[in-house]
């Protein structure tokens, strides 16, 4: 038995370091070597499921690196080749759900790039939506066969939540809201009984966060606030148990930031400021740890500080507003120096 779902964590943790320090191109060659190593082995023994799986994973890893390096057409090709192997093996070994589960995961990863303008130039919203629906369908089938496997239930909840976001972005916010509600129902079932894991709480926290977004998009402000608060409570449970859980820290910070925007929209500027201040420490830590020109870390922190400056000003606390505003200028200046051609730096 192979721990297939741990692969992205092991591989991505290494590649993320290249990305954070703007050295993604340096990761391309090792990833190509992994594919080159596995290709002849898999070709020489096509019935060896282990070799086929390793080749698929190598192609998937190379696809991820190529996306980060901006080589999107080639990346999509490797992702599709990785997917084809998983689908072939799933058909050959229907009793092994891991092949179908990995196919679903790759469908989701391909769809996840539809929001990147460089990838979206050849993977449009409808194509991405079809991948999301394929992932959802696979996970639903797997759950029917293995109703007691929590990892598949968590994956289905996440898949439905991603589908909700895509459907909402396509304009059907009411349909998206129903998907968000289903994702939460699936996650709620995971958190019943004594054997509730960090992963289960994370699934429910993420589902609350998704439903908060869907509620806000359909004009249900109070419900959105309530869902964000419930999600925050779950993220806090995970962080209390494991303070080094980075996804939980990130989700907690993002939820406080979203909550701040909701409060500001209701002109409750004091609550908005308090929520922003709770989101701030994680973003400052990420910004300090990121390499020069990391647009994601810098842009996220800039957004929160700008929001904080506006809310302080609305409260009449002008000195604090100016201080937050100066930080945004500092961040913009550093990003522009590190990446002078960046459109994000120009906008900031």
Q: How far apart, in whole angstroms, are the C-alpha atoms of residue 21 and residue 102?
A: 29
Q: How far apart, in whole angstroms, are the C-alpha atoms of residue 262 and residue 272?
A: 8
What's the DSSP call for residue 171?
Answer: T
pLDDT of residue 322: 97
Q: How far apart, in whole angstroms, are the C-alpha atoms of residue 176 and residue 170?
A: 9
pLDDT of residue 125: 82
pLDDT of residue 342: 54
**CA separation, residue 290 to residues 230, 255, 299, 329 (Å):** 30, 21, 12, 18
Residues of the chain with pLDDT under 70: 1-24, 113-122, 293, 339-348
**CA separation, residue 75 to residues 92, 110, 202, 295 (Å):** 26, 10, 30, 21
Q: How far apart, in whole angstroms, are the C-alpha atoms of residue 275 and residue 253?
A: 9
pLDDT of residue 18: 54
Sign, CA torsion 316/318/322/324: negative
Which structure tokens are listed for 117?
A: 């303008």
pLDDT of residue 112: 80
In this structure, the number of other CB atoms found within 10 A of the CB of residue 168 comes to 21
Give the residue ranges of DSSP H helices in the chain: 7-20, 24-44, 49-68, 72-92, 97-111, 117-120, 125-145, 150-169, 173-190, 198-217, 221-241, 246-265, 269-289, 295-314, 318-338, 343-347
pTM comes to: 0.84
pLDDT of residue 23: 60
In this structure, the number of other CB atoms found within 10 A of the CB of residue 210 comes to 28
* 64: Cβ contacts below 8 Å, ≥ 6 apart: 11, 12, 15, 75, 109
User: What are the backbone angles phi and psi of residue 308, rounded to the nearest 5°?
Assistant: -65, -40
Q: How far apart, in whole angstroms, are the C-alpha atoms of residue 2 and residue 23?
A: 30
pLDDT of residue 2: 43
pLDDT of residue 242: 95
**CA separation, residue 338 to residues 34, 283, 346 (Å):** 31, 19, 12
């Amino acid at each position: 038995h192979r721990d297939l779902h741990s692969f992205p964590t092991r591989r991505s943790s290494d590649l993320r370091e290249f990305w954070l320090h703007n050295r993604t191109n340096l990761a391309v060659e090792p990833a190509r070597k992994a594919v080159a190593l596995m290709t002849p082995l898999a070709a020489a023994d096509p019935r060896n499921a282990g070799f086929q799986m390793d080749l698929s994973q190598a192609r998937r890893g190379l696809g991820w690196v190529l996306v980060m390096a901006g080589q999107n057409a080639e990346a999509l090709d490797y992702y599709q080749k990785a997917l084809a192997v998983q689908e072939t093996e799933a058909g050959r070994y229907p009793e092994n759900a891991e092949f179908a589960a990995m196919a679903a995961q790759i469908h989701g990863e391909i769809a996840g790039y539809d929001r990147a303008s460089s990838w979206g130039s050849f993977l449009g919203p409808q194509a991405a939506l079809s991948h999301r629906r394929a992932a959802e369908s696979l996970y639903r089938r797997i759950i029917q066969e293995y109703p007691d496997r929590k990892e598949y239930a968590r994956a289905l909840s996440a898949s439905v939540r991603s589908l909700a976001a895509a459907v909402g972005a396509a304009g059907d916010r009411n349909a998206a809201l129903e998907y968000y509600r289903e994702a939460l129902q699936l996650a709620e079932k995971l958190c019943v009984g004594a054997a509730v894991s960090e992963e289960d709480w994370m699934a429910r926290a993420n589902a609350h966060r998704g439903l908060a977004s869907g509620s806000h998009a359909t004009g249900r402000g109070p419900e959105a606030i309530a869902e964000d608060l419930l999600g925050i409570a779950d993220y806090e449970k995970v962080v209390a148990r494991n303070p080094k859980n980075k996804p939980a820290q990130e989700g907690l910070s993002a939820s406080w930031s979203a909550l701040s925007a909701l409060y500001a929209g209701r002109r409750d500027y004091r609550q908005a400021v308090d929520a922003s201040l709770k989101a701030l420490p994680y973003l400052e830590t990420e910004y300090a740890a990121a390499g020069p020109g990391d647009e994601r870390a810098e842009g996220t922190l800039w957004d929160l500080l700008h929001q904080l400056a506006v809310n302080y000003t609305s409260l009449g606390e002008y000195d604090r507003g100016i201080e937050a505003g100066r930080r945004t200028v500092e961040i913009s200046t550093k990003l522009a120096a590190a990446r002078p051609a960046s459109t994000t730096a120009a906008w900031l």
